[in-house]
Amino acid sequence: MLINTKWLLDYLSPVEKHEELIETLTAAGLEIEEAWDLREMLRTVVIGFIREKKPLGEDAFLCQVETEPGKLHSIVCTTAFTVEEGWGVPVALPGTKLPHGVDIGVSQVRGEESSGMICGDAEMGLIARGETGLSVFHDEAMLGQPFAQVAEFDEWLADINVLPNRPDCLGMLGVAREVAAVLGLEFRYPELKAPKVTGEGEPFPVTIEVPEKCYRYIGQPITGIKVGPSPAWLRSRLQVVGKRAINNIVDITNFVLMEYGQPLHAFDMAKLAGPEIRVRNMRADETLELLDGTKLDGEIEPLVIADAKQPVALAGIMGGADSQTTQASTSILLEAACFDPVNTRKTARALKLSTDSSYRYERGTDPNFMLEQGFKRARALMCELGQGNLPVKPTETYPSKVEPVTLTLTPQRVSGYLGMDVTREKIHECLGKLGMTCEADEITAPTWRVDAVDDVVLIEDVARLIGYDEIPLEATSASATQGRTNDADQMRERLSAFLVANGFLETRHAPLVDASMLNLFQSDSQAQIELENPLRSDMSVLRDSLIPSLLQTCERNARRGETSFRFFEIDRRFVKNPTGDGHDINEYWTLGAVVGGTLFDAAWESRKTDIEFPHAKGLLEQLLANLGMTERFQMQRGPVPRGFNPEQTGIIQLGETPIGYLGAVDPKKANLDSRVRAQLFAFEVDIAKLVTAYVGNRPFAGLSRQQGTSRDLSLLVDKTVTYRTLEDTIRSSFAQAISGWPITPMLEEVVCVDEYSGDNIETGKKSLTLRFTFRDETRALTSEEANQISEAVLASLTSEHQVRLRG
Amino acid sequence: MSQTFAELIEEVNSVAETSVIEIEACQSLDQVNEIRIQRLGKKGDITAFMKRMKEIPPEQKKEFGAAVNTAKSRVEEAIEARKESLESAAASGEGSFDFDITLPGIRPKSGHRHPVMAAMQEVKSILTGLGFRYDDYPEVETDFFNFDGLNTPSWHPARDMHDTFYTKDGNVMRTHTTAFQQHALKQFGPPPIKAMTSGRCYRCDEIDATHFPIFHQLDVIAIDRGITFADLKCTLYQLARGLFGDDVKLQFRPSFFPFTTPSAEVDVWFNGRWMEILGSGMMHPNVLKAAGLDPREWQGFAFGLGIDRIAMNRHGITDIRYMYDNEAAFLRQF
């Protein structure tokens, strides 16, 4: 909401500095979106003298304006003001930024070049300074002088954000009331003249059929109206806050809306069937055309204002087109009402309408003082400016009066909430400034404070007016609590630390993705979690895997010239439990990583080594080794995710539990951008399963002082025989080999030290060199003992896997 | 013998002379060693003179032997001297070597944390130190946890402050991590409770330099007997000191959140201006009531921070889109 400080000062005394008023708004709880010091903003507005004026069409002039001695600007003037040759007027030079987002430049207007703009006061954000709204100067000595120097003003314009709890501040009076309370100024409401009632007319009956939706309705017939333009003081007040001036009657309703926050409406009485007003639900078979041209049917049966025959306005939201006040109107019905916030909000939402009126009704307006005062203010202005008469008293319907709320508030309660001593006197002083009635510990808030339903609201008012800065920094609660993170978070941190130490860049992707990025495992596509109201189609479903996002990141980086890729992300995967109802969504914390390109950052071509499957697997092995889980780890064949090469992809197992998968990305199947030249490998691991498998505080295994013994076996093996099965055989045959020995050496490690197939190896075979290391805690093994073991192992390998020793 | 004895002595001396000059010109130990082999080795020049002793008449053997020995020791001394000087030059890093240490190295890959995650972990660890426990809560939420349980019923105008994503099943993508409050109140039973969570939040904002529909927050609650606004301020100062240094300045502005009253926006003085970092306040009685707690017995405070904004400000990142483009050139900078 825009506010102008000069307007605020209409209600305050003594007059405060404008800048201080702006600073106060924040302390009053009104957020400032933006504030403009108009003196500063208007520094390129100068006094220019009109040397020549030629008509340009019916409602415009082409003026030659001298803005510095000898320099003429051609300006097309379409303003509503009369200008005359020889007058000095404020001219915004090209480059000026005027309020309301108007940027002045050099432009073509009606086929003529126009450089600059002749500004009325309101166009500069200023309340009208004279009768016409245009500042005119006759002293030629002022030629070229900055307007802000010649005309004295310090007005500020501000765009404030009134938070939803304080609709009473959706008018200048409400804002001024808050400012007065913070600054300790005197605040006064406008003086209201009570026009005489002539008593010539018939009363205008009003019926509220749905009292739960309309709390109060006042209808006032005003006759003998002369519709015409409003005076400058009124027009400019609307214009500076961004509203259009239309005619005196409409302007008055808008002005009171901006002043009191009380929406009003003026019906053309001649267009109403009646005399009668009924506040009722619209019927399904009725129609209503609104002021903005919207044609409503009665489908949702919104609350309407109807005359004797048909709906004439959508209650609290917008007037009807047929009954609006026009230039031809001579008698009107002035409406001041209070509508239920929730119903207004529901209707406005359903019909996708939002107006200044609905905005205020939705948040809650005062059915008592502010409504009455706003009504009287508008009525008095219509009689004064529109020369209207009051033929009868207003018709008022107020089925059940909204009474103010009285809350108990003790000094102990306030002190115990804020953590500082606050006396009863202080409470009364603060709340009294806000118009509350304080008697001992009983506080009655005015009904415009629709938020004052809990005592904590009053405590906030007291805190605000004392100043948040005055509240001490003091720990008043002494309970000891244990600060810690959960197991999953600790695991995530371990994983991040390992990956960062191993050259991975941590990424963050939007979990909302394109549907094509789902279902890597061809699972049920019905299980996808789709947004009802996505912003865009490529962010319309929740991802069930981190890998597609990571692959996209590789592509993006390849396009930026990167050739090596190491990215990871730790986030949730979302999977709907297909058997479940509504909220049965599983959020799995997951580690996703992708790696490809060179092993090191070497610029030397000759030293480059590209990452292959064993490197990728090795990273995962090392990660699990870090967590103390290597022994239970193995890769198994299993379902292959879409986009992966089945030959080089498998399931990651910890013991019997699958915890994820690792594999080589197939660039064709994954439809990878061809600029990603490196072979990519990716893995995804379920973090909850790592948490379950993790053993903190691993036991110390002791340090052996005996020399270990190793034996290598170079074997020729069928290609289909896996290393894993050979290792298993080695382990089991080792146990057999030493059974019955007086000592019990342990098999410490089995590794593959060489793997080869190709030239010199017969087709269908591969060569593997396996090294196994064993150690006895009591003494070094003799070479006869070691050979005995080695031969026994070889014998088992030969019989179980038909291996042959290579020469 | 064409050569006179005098000429022979002259040759011995001149070989010694030349060797000394050559040795002194050597730039590496290898070169010195090479000369040692040429002169003093088995087939060396000076060694060769020794072998010619048998050709020398007996009366002159003594003189010749002395000359050769002198030559030998002169060369040996020169070699030792040169070696020493080269070694000391090498030890002090001077001298010349065949191995070029100025060639670029071969680096291991360097990893980096995402600036948002780094900031999040930092805030988390400060709060852990202040006695708050961290847990995870759902991102796909129900209306109750995201709104109703936070004193924001469906008709409440405060719902306009959130542009909410809904799933087709009618669930809510949490619009703030504040959605954890009712979970935590239920989970941890009777107070004292000091709990926090962090993570992703979703709002349907169009993407621009300052808006991204997915962002990160961290939310905190503390409930106990006698928790006050002063406690809140105290905790926020501790957090701010941890994040911005001991001389940090904060500004508390009155504000509104449906789930706190009194409410305050908190700004930190950062790089010469006030930067909005968090929203805070005393937990609204209706929130406590919704969890079955008597607001006359228990009081609590709550606050929530936008992590993206903190990360962006501390690194001077001006466009939020950089944070989610995941360009390596960006990620490597932090």
- A436-451 pLDDT, tens digit per residue, is 999 999 999 999 999 9
Using CA atoms, how far residue A389 sits from A250, A251, A307, A344, in Å, is 17, 18, 22, 32
Instruction: Tell me the CA distances in angstroms from A217 to A208, A399, B50, B250, one per residue in order.
Output: 8, 9, 135, 48
- What does the pLDDT average to over B80-103? 81
Contact A532 B168 (CB under 8 A): yes
Among B311, B300, B283, B289, which residue's Cα sits nearest to residue B218? B311
Surface of A (348-407) touching B: CB under 8 A: 362-363
What is the rounded average pLDDT for all residues in chain A? 92
Of the residues B183, B284, B324, B326, the best mutation for testing chain A's interface (the one with the most A CB atoms within 10 Å of its CB) is B326
Res A583 pLDDT > 80 = no
* pLDDT for the residue numbered A706: 87
Q: What is the pLDDT of residue B281?
A: 98
Position B17 pLDDT exceeds 60: yes
* A413 at interface of B, judged by CB pairs closer than 8 A: no
Contacts 24+ apart (CB under 8 A), A408-412: A408/A441, A408/A442, A408/A443, A408/A455, A409/A441, A409/A443, A409/A455, A409/A458, A409/A459, A410/A441, A411/A441
pLDDT at position B216:
97
Q: What is the dihedral of CA B120, B126, B127, B128, to 10 degrees?
A: 100
Nearest to A570 by CA among B326, B308, B117: B117
Q: For A468, name the nearest residue in chain B, comparing CA atoms only.
A: B252
The one-character DSSP state at A176 is H
A79 pLDDT more than 90: no
A419 to B231: CB separation less than 8 angstroms, yes or no:
yes
Report the pLDDT value the prediction gives residue B147, as an integer from 0 to 100: 95
Residue given tokens 């000592």 in the structure block: A743
**What φ, ψ does residue B39 adopt, rounded to 5°?**
-100, -45
- Please name the helix (run of DSSP H) or strand (run of DSSP E) that holds residue A265, with its range, or none: strand A264-268
How far is Cα of residue A79 from the mean position of the Cα atoms in its chain? 40
pLDDT of residue B96: 67
pLDDT digits (tens, 9 = 90+) for A228-240: 999 999 999 999 9
Residue A581: is its pLDDT beyond 60? no
User: From CA A41, how far away is CA A405, in angstroms rounded?
Assistant: 45
pLDDT of residue A502: 96
Q: Which of B121, B253, B285 sits opposite A456 (nearest CB)?
A: B285
Q: pLDDT tens digits for B216-248?
A: 999 999 999 999 999 999 999 999 999 999 999
> Residue B256: which of A163, A454, A505 has the nearest Cβ?
A163
Q: Rounded CA gap, B172 and B145, in Å?
A: 9
Q: Residue A606 pLDDT more than 80?
A: no
pLDDT given for residue A578 in this prediction: 66
The one-letter code for the residue type at A103 is: D
Among the partner residues B171, B231, B328, nearest to A476 by beta-carbon distance: B231
The answer to whether A417 contacts B116, with C-beta atoms less than 8 Å apart, is: no
Question: If we measure between CA atoms, which residue out of A178, A182, A166 comes closest to residue A465?
Answer: A182
**B326/A567 CB distance under 8 A:** yes
CA-nearest residue of chain A to B140?
A: A585
pLDDT band at A201 (very low <50, low <70, confident <90, very high): confident
Q: Which of B252, B282, B326 sits opposite A417 (nearest CB)?
A: B282
User: Residue A476 and residue B255: Cβ atoms within 8 Å?
Assistant: no
Q: Is A663 helix (H, G, I), strand (E, B) or coil?
A: strand
Candidate from B109, B134, B329 with C-beta closest to A601: B109
Task: Output DSSP code: residue A802.
Answer: -
| Percent of chain A topping pLDDT 70 | 98
Selecting from A459, A499, A600 the residue whose C-beta is nearest the C-beta of B111 gives A499
Distance from CA of B293 to the nearest CA of A (A): 16
pLDDT tens, residue by residue, A730-760? 999 999 999 889 999 999 899 999 988 878 8
Cα nearest neighbour of A495 on chain B? B113
pLDDT-derived band at A579, boundaries 50, 70, 90: low
Residue A418 CB coordination number (10 Å): 26
How many other C-beta atoms lie within 10 A of the C-beta of residue A361?
A: 26
Whole-angstrom distance, CA of residue B263 vs CA of residue A464: 10
Q: What percent of chain B stands above pLDDT 90? A: 61
Q: How many CB pairs under 8 A join A and B?
A: 273
Between chains, do B254 and A29 touch, taking CB under 8 Å as contact? yes
Report CB contact under 8 Å: A483, B129: yes
Which residues from A are below 8 Å from B158, CB to CB?
Answer: 164-165
What is the spatial distance between Cα A267 and Cα A333, in angstroms, rounded to a whole number?
5
Contact B167 A532 (CB under 8 A): yes
- How far apart, in Å, are the Cα atoms of A172 and each of A7, A162, A318, A339, A378? 8, 12, 22, 21, 15
pLDDT in tens, B24-66: 888 888 888 888 888 888 888 888 888 888 888 888 888 888 8
Could you give the ipTM of this predicted complex? 0.89
Integer-rounded Cα radius of gyration of chain B: 42
Nearest to B323 among A502, A508, A600 (CB): A508
Residue A605 confidence (pLDDT) above 80: no
Contact A603 B104 (CB under 8 A): yes
Q: Which residues of B touch A474 (CB under 8 A)?
A: 228, 230-231, 234
H or E, element range at A296: strand A295-297
Structure tokens at A253: 């309703």
Six-digit token pair at B38? 């040429």
Spatial separation of the C-alpha atoms in residues A304 and A316, rounded to whole Å = 8
> Which of A 584-623 lie inside 8 A of B, CB atoms?
585, 587, 589, 599-604, 607
Encode pLDDT of A706-738 as tens digits.
889 999 999 999 999 999 999 999 999 999 999
Per DSSP, the residues of A299-357 read: TT--EEEE-SSSEEEETTTEEBSTTB--TT---EEEEEEEE-HHHHHHHHHHTT---HH
Q: Is A435 left (phi over 0), alpha (psi -120 to 50) or beta?
A: left
Six token digits for residue B7: 């000429």
Dist. CA A746–CA A74, nearest whole Å: 101
Q: Flag if A504 and B109 touch (Cβ within 8 Å).
A: yes
Does A166 sit within 8 Å of B132, measured CB to CB? Answer: no
- Residue A523's pLDDT is 61
CB–CB contact B108 A28 (8 Å):
no
CB contact under 8 A, B169 and A582: yes
Helices (H) and strands (E) in chain A — how many of each?
19, 42
The 3-state secondary structure of chain B reads CCCCHHHHHHHHHHHHHHHHHHHHHCCCHHHHHHHHHHHHCCCCHHHHHHHHHHHCCHHHHHHHHHHHHHHHHHHHHHHHHHHHHHHHHHHCCCCCCCCCCCCCCCEECCCECCHHHHHHHHHHHHHHHCCCEECCCCCEECHHHHCHHHCCCCCCHHHHHCCCCEECCCCEECCCHHHHHHHHHHHHCCCCEEEEEEEEEECCCCCCCCCCCEEEEEEEEEEECCCCHHHHHHHHHHHHHHHHCCCCCEEEEEEEECCEEEEEEEEEEECCEEEEEEEEEEECHHHHHHCCCCCCCCEEEEEEEEHHHHHHHHHCCCCCHHHHHCCHHHHCCC
| Residue A685 CA: distances (Å) to CA of A338, A519, A546, A614, A623 | 60, 16, 10, 18, 11
> E strands, A577-670, where?
585-596, 600-601, 633-636, 644-654, 657-665
Is residue B9 within 8 Å of residue B67, measured between CB atoms? yes
Q: Do A484 and B285 touch (CB under 8 A)?
A: no
pLDDT on residue B49: 85
Residue A580 pLDDT exceeds 70: no
Residue A19 host element (H or E): helix A18-27
Taking only the tens place, the pLDDT of each residue in B272-297 is: 999 999 999 999 999 999 999 999 99
pLDDT category at A522 given cuts 50, 70, 90 is low
Does A179 score more than 60 pLDDT?
yes
Cα B319 to Cα B322: distance, rounded to the nearest angstrom: 6
pLDDT at A524: 60
- Read off the pLDDT of residues A461-470 as tens digits, 9 standing for 90 and up: 999 999 999 9
Mutate to test the interface with B, among A358, A479, A675 (most CBs of B within 10 A): A479
- State the pLDDT at residue A77: 87
- The Cα B307–Cα B184 span in angstroms is 21
Tell me if A587 and B112 make a contact (CB, 8 A cut-off). Answer: no
Is the pLDDT at A527 greater than 80, yes or no? no
For A743-793, give the secondary structure using H, E and C: CCCEEEEEEEEEEECCCCCCCCEEEEEEEEEEECCCCCCCHHHHHHHHHHH
Q: Are A616 and A648 in contact (CB under 8 A)?
A: no
CB contact under 8 A, A477 and B222: yes
Tell me if B302 sits within 8 A of B150, measured CB to CB: no
Q: pTM for the whole thing?
A: 0.86
